[in-house]
Structure 1
């Protein structure tokens, strides 16, 4: 079909309607073919497969549950969280680690803001291979390692992809704090060195619950300390559905004095 004229270009574009690919959002999300067990398809609000080297973003209501799945075993989901409508309150990785006395994410862990509030809680985890230490990759480092770290190049850097995602919500580079990453683990050795432990294999998942209304940014890129010479990152499945936020009767509220205080701080602004 000729596209050298406006009419031809329009016909060509319209002919693409209904075309699908393996990595794209599904709209409406309720059309996702395999909803999580026990989830009514009508409650799905986000259904997407993110390519390796891709990014995505979404505003989620308080109480929404978000499941990330490493489909082929080499996804690496770098994550940033912001309070919707109040983006100066955002994920603080240092406080997430410090307040809960644990640098290794897993079920029951709380993701905290710089205001001491719970942005999200980890309600399920079958991976156990995550990282709160290294952050995401940068343009300079990826260019040095792979020859090109630009967002549309063959080895996109996580920070460049976060910049694109943030712009969709009126945010810029100065609004990008350190991120956490899921599905590619790093261990800190007694001498302070880092050991890359990689993934838990295909099908591993982690489920978060939004304890405040959130803007979620995700960059699916190779981990910055992955020792493999080739840029390695495979598709990430992202599903979110309507659910309920944690209440005072939830065991997470009473799991630790620090967590209890964080939930009380959260309740102060979400009543």
Structure 2
């Protein structure tokens, strides 16, 4: 075999330079072929049943796109360097008086501060209630849920992403899900509404320096017996945070206070 020796393995590895597959990062991100509103700092296609992570600076905009209609982006956010300040789905819902994410929503921590703002949404099929899939569930449903299996659970992948950022399993709160919808019926039962179709996207604006964890796996309420998960495009570029005078800042009294809490806290750190 050509790879039976260290020299053969080296030559084989070097021969792969420049080769591309659909699901992989673009490095450097500035080589991304499409135009964006600002300098690209993260460009990647995440395959179904896989995960990614990155630290993004305040003011960066992050766009997630469901390329084929069966991606489901399970998202966790942390204030970078302060992992105890993390996405709180309960407060995100409570402050909006609405469990359904829409354009203009603030994604909050339990400190009453904004981690990110949903500035654009062409999908409208999201979920704040169910979190991601777990190992035991996937074993029952698909026969396996380990990261190396053909049906990895979202929590297992988020654990790996967390460990690569100095976080532990205990640091994983409930996640948000983009591109697969859930509605609450009048009797309180949850109804899976599925995807809006290929090409839907959401754009988030980082209001603080953020550690971002994403697992692209089927939604836990997806009724299909097969493990169906298609590629997710992740693209981020330099922009700026939400500031007073922006319509999003003044869209509601609760949101205005959350933005004010955020900038007041950052100002004391010499950031805002």
TM-score normalised by structure 2 residue count: 0.96
Match of 1:97 in 2: 93
- Which whole-Å CA distance do the structure 2 matches of 1:52 and 1:142 have between them? 15
Query: Alignment partner for residue 187 of structure 2, among 185, 191, 200?
Result: 191
Change (3 A) 1:156 1:35: farther
Counterparts of 1:204 and 1:10, CA distance in 2: 41
Q: Which residue in 1 is equivalent to 2:136?
A: 140
* 1:148-167 equivalent positions in 2, closer than 5 A: 148-167=144-163
Counterpart Cα distance in 2 of 1:118 and 1:18: 40
Alignment of 1:110-259 (within 5 A): 110-259=106-255
Q: In structure 2, how many angstroms separate the alpha carbons of the residues matched to 1:59 and 1:80?
A: 12
Q: Please name the residue that 1:33 is paired with.
A: 33
Q: CA deviation at 1:122?
A: 0.5
1:35 positional shift: 3.0
Q: Distance in 1 between matches of 2:44 and 2:121?
A: 19
CA–CA distance in 2 between the matches of 1:66 and 1:269?
23
Q: Which runs of 4+ in 1 moved over 6 A?
A: none
In structure 1, how many angstroms separate the alpha carbons of the residues matched to 2:66 and 2:102?
15
Q: CA deviation at 1:269?
A: 2.0
**1:268 Cα deviation (Å)?**
1.2
Q: Distance in 2 between matches of 1:231 and 1:241?
A: 32
- Rounded to whole Å, the distance in 2 between the matches of 1:238 and 1:134 is 22
TM value normalised by structure 1: 0.97
Q: 2:64 aligns with which of 59, 65, 68?
A: 68
- Write the deviation string for residues 30-55 of structure 1: whole angstroms up to 9, x where unpaired: 1111233xx24xx0000000000010
Q: Distance in 2 between matches of 1:242 and 1:6?
A: 41
Q: 1:2 aligned to 2:16?
A: no
RMSD value over aligned CA atoms? Answer: 0.9
Q: Which runs of 5+ in 1 are unaligned?
A: none
3-state SS in 1 of match to 2:118: strand
SS, match of residue 254 in structure 1:
coil
Aligned counterpart, 2:81: 85
Q: 1:120: how far off? A: 0.3
Any gaps of 5 or more consecutive residues in structure 2?
Answer: 267-271
SS at structure 1 position matched to 2:249: helix
Q: Distance in 2 between matches of 1:265 and 1:166?
A: 27
SS at match of 1:240: strand
**Structure 2 CA distance for aligned equivalents of residues 216 and 35 of structure 1:** 23
Partner of residue 55, structure 1: 51
